[in-house]
Amino acid sequence: TGRYFMTYPGTLDLFSAMERAIDDLRDGVVKYALVGASCDQKNFLVKHHIERTQFEFSGMAIDCSAAMVLTLEDVASIAEIKSIKTGYTAHDPFKENHCLASEYSLPAYCGPVSALISLGLQLDEPNIEVPEFHWKGPKGHSADIKLRRLNE
């Protein structure tokens, strides 16, 4: 048992949960934090939303999930978070017409899970020295994370 924090699904919300987990680790509230995201994008409401707001992703959207375990303990780790940064501007429904990122590099649309999947794939590639993920959403929305590989 322990503390938990849940947010509404979105890339910035995943990063908010990650920042909260890092704070809890540093404050000694928890020893381990499981940070994850899931996307039920074949759900008819979500599918309709994607088709309405960014139809270019509608054929690529999949159901998916991913997680990472964070700790400050001296255990066998493969990477450490070097930096994490988010930017947010309140949504103006009268000016903005979409809420999803317009840049995408994975072969399937994975919504907020994309950050974790992208970092995991990069950690599997030994030639990528600095695994990182950059997300830009509507005006003022952004999330960035950089990892540092630890000696294996």
pLDDT of 152 > 80? The answer is no
Residues in the chain: 152
Tell me the β-bridge partners of 135.
143
| Measured distance CA(149)–CA(87) in Å, rounded | 25
Residue-wise pLDDT for 45-89, tens only, equals: 989 988 888 788 888 899 999 999 999 988 888 899 999 999 887
Tokens representing 120 are: 């995991």
pTM above 0.85, yes or no: no
Those residues with Cβ within 8 angstroms of residue 140's Cβ, 6 or more apart along the chain or in another chain = 87, 88, 89
Nearest in space to 3 (alpha carbons), one of 17, 67, 55: 17
Location of structure tokens 């974790």: 116
Structure tokens that stand for 92 in this block: 């103006």
How far is the first Cα of the chain from the last one, in angstroms, to the nearest whole number?
31
Residue 32 has pLDDT above 90, yes or no: yes
Which stretches within the chain are classed as H helix? 11-26, 44-53, 114-124
Q: How far is Cα 110 from Cα 42, in angstroms, rounded to an integer?
A: 11
Residue 136 pLDDT: 84
* Alpha carbons 105 and 120: distance in angstroms, whole number: 14
Work out the percent of the chain whose per-residue pLDDT is above 90.
Answer: 46
Average of pLDDT values for 118-136?
91
Tell me the C-alpha distance between 98 and 140, whole Å: 13
Q: pLDDT digits over 78-95, tens only?
A: 899 999 999 887 766 666
Q: What is the mean pLDDT of residues 105-130?
A: 89
